[in-house]
Structure 1
Amino acid sequence: MSVEPPSKATEVLRGIAGSPGVAIGKVVVFGQSRAHCPRRTIGPGEIDAEVVRFEEAVARAQRDLREMSQRLTERSAEASILEAYVLMTGDPVLAEAVRHQIQKEKRAAEWAVAEASDVIAKRLGALDDPYLSERSHDVLFIGDRILRAFGTTAPEQQNLRLDGPSIVVAHDLSPADTAAMINQPVVGFVTEVGTRTSHTAIMARALEIPAVVGVTDALKRISGGDLVVVDGLRGSVLVGPQPRELDEARARGERHTALSRELSVSRDREATTQDGVRVTLRANVELPAEAILARDHGAEGIGLYRTEFLYIDRSLPPTEDQQFEIFRAVVETMRPMPVTLRTFDIGGDKFISSLKLPPEMNPMLGLRAVRLALSQPEVFLEHLRAMVRASAYGEVKIMIPMIASLSELRQVRVLLEQAIEQVKARGLPCADEIPLGIMVEVPAAAVLVDLFAQEASFMSLGTNDLVQYTLAVDRTSRSLAYLASSFDPAILRLIRSVVRAGEGWSCPVSICGAMASDPLAAVLLVGLGMRDFSMEAAAIPEIKEALRRVTLVEAEAVAREALRFGTSDEVEHCVAEAFAPRLYDLLTGER
């Protein structure tokens, strides 16, 4: 009598939920290796020719990416991400670094590209800021595209040809990689690196393909041909699932698909509460391509466009014209909806080489954001002029981060007026009026909010830093993450006081921190009087739906009760008890 061997236990791998949904399929390992490059030194007489070879390779790489983008004419969001890569391929920072390698280090063009992209990527990867750290992968991808364009490297891995529903597992995937798989039966992605802000995750969300990123040693623990479940709702990968687990995964996937279909149908509706109170939902973006994603997700404009990434890892600041072209692209994409451009928030945990910053014991409390801007007035004026010029192409607002005193706001206003005069003196067009607002993210600004409300054109609550500075908790510290809660009563009281001051002095107030994209927090914020939100674009349909399920009366009642509690746990319990049952599908991602 034979005995069946016990079935192998399912292995569960943990990662980050990069794109929502549940997918089941056989694994295909995408093992694209980096392009090989000859490590050849050159003589003085070869320098100019090698620079030309580099410039020609850049042009070929851009052409290839544009052709790929043009093949996606019916997928504007995905095509826009590839267009962003076209811009990055011609990035002057990378070009400057490559020329240095050729001219000073006497390296052949291929070696110069590999070395320059590696150096820039390592610097970005060492940063604490998750978004900037993720950009290191983009730099490596761009370097790889240019290397392949020389035509002296090994041929690129052929496009996948898949026979059935497949899960692609890789160390990382570029937008070009994922775009090449669009016509293949790829149902899920798993990568060893990445976060929700990586382009792998952004592209997967645009394609509506479930993805789990940041899965440590995925290539060692998953083999080609394995049956896996990719759970982009819980951030897990099941390797060798049992029949019961497969049934459960299929059911969860169907429930999520039903929910997504409902949200996508209603995403163009106005955001209103059940009793008809209107709420405005805008998007936070960091790259021009994300403006298109924001529009496609139903955003009513951009409430926060982060500009500091223009300055990262450069020997010289970006020129006024370089900044203007990027700002104009974003403004034109969103027109006639408004775009709020935040002046650079540099310093703290954001490395920058174009402005010589002194070493500081505690950079988060040092020369950063508006303080740095005012210490470099000529650089700041160039930044402001680019924004002023962009105002001729759509509705532009300018917002100042890290404001802590009225004198800072007044100094910036003087510089803005000077920038406007300089633009007009050149005969260049600009808007007749450009609102100047502040971010309320330093407790001092929240305490003096009644005075700020009289002088600022608008105010926006940056809850991420407001939590950090109010609670004296480093928001990048994993060990202290449990303390950094936006539901803390101190934060709620500051938010309420800012909203009231805005109402009292007819100064519009919005919120652009991560708190705005949490369905429970959003309902609570409406109860506290907030009517203008800005958030990650992908969260907009969910927040619209959450607001439609509650009334203003209910939200205000829960807000009043929440303000009586003394701990964040008590506040969260209060809000969850009132609203979690009716928002269950939005909180779990499945109908």
Structure 2
Amino acid sequence: MSERTQTESRKLLGRLREALAEDSAGQTRLDNITQLIASSMGTEVCSIYLFLDAETLELCATEGLNPESVHQTRLRMGEGLVGRVAKTSKIINTDDAPSAKGFRYMPETGEEIYSSFCGVPIQRLGDNLGVLVVQSKDVREFSADETYALEVVAMVLAEMTELGAFVGDNDAMHARHQQSVLLRGASAQEGAAEGHVWLHEPRVVVTNPIADDPDVELARLDEAVSQLRVGVDKMLDGAAGGDKEQLQVLEAYRMFANSKGWMRRMQQDIAQGLSAEAAVEKEQSTARTRMEQVADSYLRERLHDLDDLSNRLLRILTGQGSETGAELPTDPILIARNIGPAELLEYGRGLKGIVLEEGSVGSHAAIVARALAIPLVIHADKITTEALNGDHIMVDGDQGIAHLRPDETVVAAFRDKIAMQAQAQERYASIRDKSATTVDGITINLTMNAGLMADLPSLENSGADGVGLFRTELQFLVRNKMPKRSELSALYARVMDAAQGKRVVFRTLDIGSDKVLPYMTPQDEPNPAMGWRAIRVGLDKPGVMRMQLQALLRGANGRPLTVMFPFVAQHDEYRAAVAEMEKAKEREAVLGHPLPETIELGAMLETPSLGFAPQTFFEDVGFLSIGGNDLKQFFFAADRENERVRKRYDTLNISFLSFLEGIVNRCHSTKTPLSFCGEDAGRPIEALCLAAMGLRSLSMRPASIGPVKSLLRRTNLSEVRAVIVQARERGDQSVRPAVMEYLRTQS
């Protein structure tokens, strides 16, 4: 890049800064900027398009096109050359625009006389804000130096748009971070919460995108990068001698921190006239755009490393982030792209709600959120760029919605919902110590799911009859190394102490699929939910299973012990697991440790195959628990992590209920205790139908016990059973409409 080009670019940015510093309205600023760019680039046209909403671009300012088309011309994402730039986040540079693929003629603008076209995305950290366009009558492609200069200008426009420099009376020019925003995601944990935003990784706001002195900015960048490299070296020193794979990841991290190409590109941006912060962010935006287009998971992870390094570098340059000393609000709603279970546990029960851009219904974070009974919304696109620390926010975990900076009508309606839920909880508290006995005298055993010591107070408060599922994997997931047997046995002892004699069903380690231990080599499997997981891992790595079984035996310290093996697909797997327990008992006896008074061993029925196991299996197994979440996804061949299909199939589908009824009948014939565990057990209508099909024990999250018990106590189970039988005889696909109609007639 020539010195002359750099000088011209710096001159343009200098003039831009003067225009931005003027005390004028947003529209006037935009008009001045388009004139400046057109003049500096030697083009007849310069136009700025900004997003009106997620799918619509609006022409907000132009030099050279028909001025009457401003705020009138609109394009859908992908429509015309401008829409294509916005959709692909790639520059389009052509000397014959009318002949270019996707060109759309807009007669109101008068652009048909301009042959050359160069469109550059206006984006900040992967967030598309608009498109900057220059056009010329001359038949020519813009040079690499010219397009690079336009990228630099677009970077400044993105920063100024973010800061609200172009606020005006028009919809597309409202200041970001001031409007009410409705973010639709997916529900990963039910409940409603109101509070104020706390960003897990606060975004750095660049207030000085244009440099006063490039030499000063280059020196600042050098010093900050040196600090960054020292920090990465310290991380490596701290991990020395530890996990080999973790070391490899940190080595890759250091490689990026020392990347000459990364450094050279940022120095080049500064030479064009950007500040050190803006140069870092420009390269970060480019990396994020690449990240969204790369399918390879390894490359995506490496680009994520670069993204993380950029954030660290920005915090060093600006002093923003954790160094600011910002205090957690009294009613924090945690906002993050994603978060690990250990980090989430550090926040603890103080959080009112959580909203994630990524995540999944079965992720570690979702498991911890359920354990802590914190409403969680996942897949809330752009939440980390839309929200600022301290913003008012309302989270509806039932609907998978977040209301950011809500208006008064939303606030009033939402508070009514929270009040109604609170009233319902008071009503449920009045029946806490009563049994879940139906009108026709059938008692259903209602137990709770748990995974943390923090869950155990809910055992008494919710009125649960015991713990139907204690997820032991959480103690493995929240650590960066394998827990010791002594630590686990102490934990299991505390769990049994807290249960005060009530039955606790400990599920052995259920890892794999979406639950990968940070210190175990991840398996590159095309379909991990149906891969090497749960009991399969335990039997292939018996050392880990034996260690956990010994910890459970010691934790019981002579008390009755109940253990359940997950994801059993055939009788031989259950037999092998039982054999491991026998070996663990023999070892404990040799060591002189007390054995449990009684040991109940069971299996989770999560695969359809186990429902058709030989009669000998049902006679052999101590008890069965239907794992509804996994069983449903395999029964309907519908991935529960796939939003397109996971809600497509109803639990109350006749075929699924008939399958469950078959399991109930087989267990009844062999007198095998049977329960149902999963999200559906905690939904009152579903729970009622499961009970009507013959299930007499349901395990759910603590907050669901009250609503389920309330409905069961008000209903005649024999009548519900009759409604289901009639629906099946009619050939209904689902019994839901018939059961809902029956309940309406009873109210």
Could you tell me the TM-score, scaled by structure 2's length?
A: 0.55
C-alpha separation in 1, matches of 2:402 and 2:418: 14
Equivalent residue for 1:464, pick from 621, 629, 653: 629
Contact 1:442–1:466 (CA under 8 A) maintained in structure 2: yes
Q: 1:294 to 1:156 in 2, by over 3 A?
A: farther
Equivalent residue for 2:591, pick from 426, 440, 446: 426
**Are 2:689 and 1:518 aligned?**
no
Tell me whether 526-535 or 5-14 shows the greater mean CA deviation.
5-14
- How far 1:192 moved relative to its partner? 5.7
Residue number in structure 2 paired with 1:571: 735
Equivalent residue for 2:654, pick from 489, 494, 498: 489
C-alpha separation in 2, matches of 1:11 and 1:233: 18
Residue number in structure 1 paired with 2:191: 20
Q: Secondary structure at the match of 1:533?
A: strand
C-alpha separation in 1, matches of 2:389 and 2:231: 40
C-alpha distance after superposition, 1:433-476 (max 9, x if no partner): 20111122222221126432211111111122222333333332
Contact 1:174–1:199 (CA under 8 A) maintained in structure 2: no
Q: 1:276 to 1:157 in 2, by over 3 A?
A: farther
C-alpha separation in 2, matches of 1:348 and 1:40: 37
C-alpha separation in 2, matches of 1:554 and 1:215: 42
Q: 1:435 to 1:160 in 2, by over 3 A?
A: closer
Q: Indicate the structure whose relative CO is greater, using CA pairs within 8 Å and at least 6 residues apart.
A: 1
- How far 1:414 moved relative to its partner? 2.3
- How far 1:174 moved relative to its partner? 5.0
Contact 1:13–1:238 (CA under 8 A) maintained in structure 2: yes
Q: 1:250 to 1:375 in 2, by over 3 A?
A: closer
Residue number in structure 2 paired with 1:438: 603
- How far 1:100 moved relative to its partner? 7.5
Q: 1:378 to 1:225 in 2, by over 3 A?
A: closer
Contact 1:520–1:579 (CA under 8 A) maintained in structure 2: no
**Are 2:448 and 1:283 aligned?**
yes
Equivalent residues in 2 for 1:101-250 (5 A)? 157-159=325-327, 170-171=335-336, 215-218=380-383, 220-221=385-386, 230-238=395-403, 244-250=409-415
**Are 2:436 and 1:271 aligned?**
yes
Contact 1:335–1:395 (CA under 8 A) maintained in structure 2: no
- How far 1:98 moved relative to its partner? 11
**Are 2:576 and 1:406 aligned?**
no
C-alpha separation in 1, matches of 2:657 and 2:730: 10
Tell me whether 521-530 or 427-436 shows the greater mean CA deviation.
427-436
User: Which residue identity is paired with 2:182?
Assistant: V
Equivalent residue for 2:549, pick from 364, 368, 384: 384
C-alpha separation in 1, matches of 2:554 and 2:373: 36
Q: Secondary structure at the match of 1:40?
A: helix
Q: Secondary structure at the match of 1:431?
A: coil
Equivalent residue for 1:539, pick from 683, 692, 704: 704
C-alpha distance after superposition, 1:219-256 (max 9, x if no partner): 54456787665545434344565655554444434323
Contact 1:331–1:393 (CA under 8 A) maintained in structure 2: no
Q: Secondary structure at the match of 2:381?
A: coil
Q: Secondary structure at the match of 2:463?
A: coil
Residue number in structure 2 paired with 1:336: 501
Q: Secondary structure at the match of 1:479?
A: coil
C-alpha distance after superposition, 1:290-319 (max 9, x if no partner): 233344322222111223345559897544
Percentage identity across aligned positions?
27
C-alpha separation in 1, matches of 2:524 and 2:357: 34
Which protein is bigger by CA-based radius of gyration? Answer: 2
C-alpha separation in 2, matches of 1:462 and 1:207: 21
Residue number in structure 2 paired with 1:40: 230
Could you tell me the TM-score, scaled by structure 1's length?
A: 0.67
Unaligned segments of structure 2, at least 5 residues: 1-168, 205-223, 258-294, 298-307, 313-320, 338-342
C-alpha distance after superposition, 1:522-569 (max 9, x if no partner): 10011111111111222111111121121122222133234446564x
C-alpha separation in 1, matches of 2:689 and 2:437: 14
Q: Secondary structure at the match of 1:467?
A: helix
Equivalent residues in 2 for 1:245-264 (5 A)? 245-264=410-429
**Are 2:468 and 1:298 aligned?**
no
Contact 2:202–2:389 (CA under 8 A) maintained in structure 1: no
Q: 1:266 to 1:205 in 2, by over 3 A?
A: farther
- How far 1:418 moved relative to its partner? 1.8
C-alpha separation in 1, matches of 2:561 and 2:702: 19
C-alpha separation in 2, matches of 1:204 and 1:315: 20
Contact 1:299–1:540 (CA under 8 A) maintained in structure 2: yes
Contact 2:197–2:387 (CA under 8 A) maintained in structure 1: no
C-alpha separation in 1, matches of 2:526 and 2:395: 43
C-alpha distance after superposition, 1:468-511 (max 9, x if no partner): 33333333222322444322333212211221222222211111
C-alpha separation in 1, matches of 2:542 and 2:392: 59
C-alpha separation in 1, matches of 2:390 and 2:324: 23
Equivalent residues in 2 for 1:342-361 (5 A)? 342-352=507-517, 360-361=525-526
Q: 1:42 to 1:274 in 2, by over 3 A?
A: closer
Tell me whether 286-295 or 230-239 shows the greater mean CA deviation.
230-239
User: Which residue identity is paired with 1:159?
Assistant: E
- How far 1:260 moved relative to its partner? 2.1
Q: Secondary structure at the match of 1:524?
A: helix
Q: Secondary structure at the match of 2:468?
A: strand
Q: Secondary structure at the match of 1:345?
A: coil
Tell me whether 367-376 or 452-461 shows the greater mean CA deviation.
367-376
C-alpha separation in 1, matches of 2:713 and 2:368: 28
Q: Secondary structure at the match of 1:266?
A: coil
Q: 1:499 to 1:319 in 2, by over 3 A?
A: same
Residue number in structure 1 paired with 2:693: 528
Q: 1:198 to 1:178 in 2, by over 3 A?
A: farther
Q: Secondary structure at the match of 1:477?
A: coil
Q: Secondary structure at the match of 1:481?
A: coil
Contact 2:450–2:470 (CA under 8 A) maintained in structure 1: yes
Residue number in structure 2 paired with 1:504: 669
C-alpha distance after superposition, 1:262-292 (max 9, x if no partner): 1233333322223332111112223332233
- How far 1:337 moved relative to its partner? 0.8
C-alpha separation in 1, matches of 2:199 and 2:235: 37
Q: Secondary structure at the match of 2:625?
A: strand
Unaligned segments of structure 1, at least 5 residues: 55-93, 112-125, 129-139, 145-152, 182-186, 584-591
Contact 2:349–2:374 (CA under 8 A) maintained in structure 1: no
- How far 1:420 moved relative to its partner? 0.9
Contact 1:339–1:395 (CA under 8 A) maintained in structure 2: no
Contact 1:348–1:364 (CA under 8 A) maintained in structure 2: yes
C-alpha distance after superposition, 1:178-198 (max 9, x if no partner): 7678xxxxx877666667888
Contact 1:19–1:201 (CA under 8 A) maintained in structure 2: no
